[in-house]
Amino acid sequence: MKYATQRVALPFFALALALFALQVTFGILAATVYVLPEFLVDYVPFHIMRMSHTNLLIVWLLIGFMGCTYYLLPEEAESEIHSPMIAYVQLAIFAVAGAGALVSYQFGIHEGREFLEQPLWSKILITVSFLMFLYNSSRTLLVGRKTAINSVLMLGLWLAAIFWLFAFYNPGNLGLDKLYWWWIVHIWVEGVWELIMASLLAYLLIKLTGVDREIIEKWLYVIIGLALFSGLLGTGHHYYWIGAPAYWQPIGSIFSTLEVAPFFAMVMFAFYMFWKGRRNHPNKSAMLWTLGSAAVAFFGAGVWGFMHTLSFVNYYTHGTQVTAAHGHLAFYGAYVMMVLAVITYAMPQLRGRQPYNQILNMWSFWVMTSAMCFMTFTLTFAGVVQTHLQRVMGINYMEVQQQLELFYYMRLGAGVFVAIAAVMFLVAIFGPAREELPEGMALTAR
């Protein structure tokens, strides 16, 4: 760790991972209700579990992005963080906003638009905290070296904040509500968050492979160009059936198909740099998460997204478990794995050690990734059966759901393995460092 203020990232990572554990817990509770409908019915109804699950994901990823930013910014900008105090205060505000929203949900206090359930006071605190974060990180960038990596990262974060402001606009016309709701939800996850993901990927590849910055940064611009050229008009694939004009069917179909391109470019980029790189970095588990993130994002966001994005396919699959399958693997590959990759890379430096507990960390990678893939397969099968029975045959929703029970049992099983892997990851990261490299490497070589 070259800069003392990189240490600011540590509490962000710790809180992000704690909330990750809670997110998985609520996911398992909700998956249990799918197979045992009376489970906790008088204490935590399904809609509360589900909003807790999705909100925790968003909140922990945002805290994770902030932690990643504070960690890499001093190295990239060659300058200390403007104010560590602001960083700690904005983290505390964000934690109060997120935890406060989570607790209030359990008492039935929430707003009602999907993913934007945070009560107004919580939304305002999130905005304040995020603006403090942007001020702090932008000040750091302004006095320091401007690289493509830190510039693209800051651009992605600023744009995320700007589009978040649509959360405060809720028109009475349901069609308009949906039209602008996607300006947050889609533009975030299929647009500006990809800028954040790609810049984190580029940072890790420079550090882990030692390939020239010039080459890496050129790829970075190509990738984010592909992301926004396809992703902005790709929003059209959400405008097919909400009262918007019919022209969104061809526009959305074409441009959202092209949304596969940036993810394909990221896989190419990651593996090409991996082969090209001469540096034999001792943190093998960080390399594994980095390559894994690019690969799983390509399948989850790219392939599974394409599967149901064409308007004439989506006409039948819209609103079925196919969407749930895609959502789970896309978020996991693109954002969860990328944040875990940065944490795996950064923690040895933050703890002042050589890379440690790598075998356990890699086990966690394989168990978690396999379980998420299995979950995605079960939900995909459930979605295909549901599409046929309900949308094609016209059998009623509740009858069709009974036919899907086996898939829901298997999804719950997959969720339990994700939880086991998450615990393994937490132990590998925060537990005692049992073995360290390169000492361990030397031992096996002897």
Cβ atoms of 418 and 375 closer than 8 Å: yes
Cβ atoms of 202 and 216 closer than 8 Å: yes
Nearer to other proteins, 187 or 337 (CB): 187
Among 129, 183, 138, residue whose Cα is nearest residue 160:
183
Nearer to other proteins, 9 or 201 (CB): 201
Min separation Cβ 165 and other proteins, Å: 15
82: its two tokens: 């403007």
Among 249, 263, 273, 275, residue whose Cα is nearest residue 302:
263
Nearer to other proteins, 111 or 436 (CB): 111
Q: How far apart are CA 79 and CA 138, in angstroms?
A: 12
Q: How far apart are CA 72 and CA 298, in angstroms?
A: 24
Nearer to other proteins, 205 or 437 (CB): 205
Nearer to other proteins, 246 or 443 (CB): 246
Min separation Cβ 54 and other proteins, Å: 8
Min separation Cβ 78 and other proteins, Å: 19
Backbone angles phi, psi at 356, to 5 degrees: -130, 165
Alpha helices in 235-388 (DSSP H): 248-258, 260-276, 284-297, 304-307, 311-317, 321-331, 337-350, 358-386
78: its two tokens: 């060659």
Min separation Cβ 310 and other proteins, Å: 14
DSSP state of 156: H
Min separation Cβ 297 and other proteins, Å: 20
Min separation Cβ 119 and other proteins, Å: 12
84: its two tokens: 């560590």
Nearer to other proteins, 26 or 332 (CB): 26
SS3 (DSSP) at 258: helix
Min separation Cβ 358 and other proteins, Å: 32
Among 443, 290, 430, residue whose Cα is nearest residue 353:
430
Cβ atoms of 232 and 252 closer than 8 Å: no
Cβ atoms of 387 and 316 closer than 8 Å: yes
Nearer to other proteins, 50 or 139 (CB): 50
Min separation Cβ 246 and other proteins, Å: 6
Q: How far apart are CA 299 and CA 380, in angstroms?
A: 13
Q: How far apart are CA 414 and CA 424, in angstroms?
A: 15
Q: How far apart are CA 362 and CA 421, in angstroms?
A: 10
Min separation Cβ 222 and other proteins, Å: 5
Residue 57's DSSP bridge partners are none
2: its two tokens: 């070259």
Nearer to other proteins, 284 or 328 (CB): 328
Min separation Cβ 198 and other proteins, Å: 11
Nearer to other proteins, 39 or 306 (CB): 39
What number of residues does the chain have?
446
**Tokens 């080459």 sit on residue:** 215
Min separation Cβ 308 and other proteins, Å: 11
Nearer to other proteins, 7 or 47 (CB): 47
64: its two tokens: 């994770």
Nearer to other proteins, 44 or 303 (CB): 44
Beta strand residue intervals within 90-199, DSSP E: none
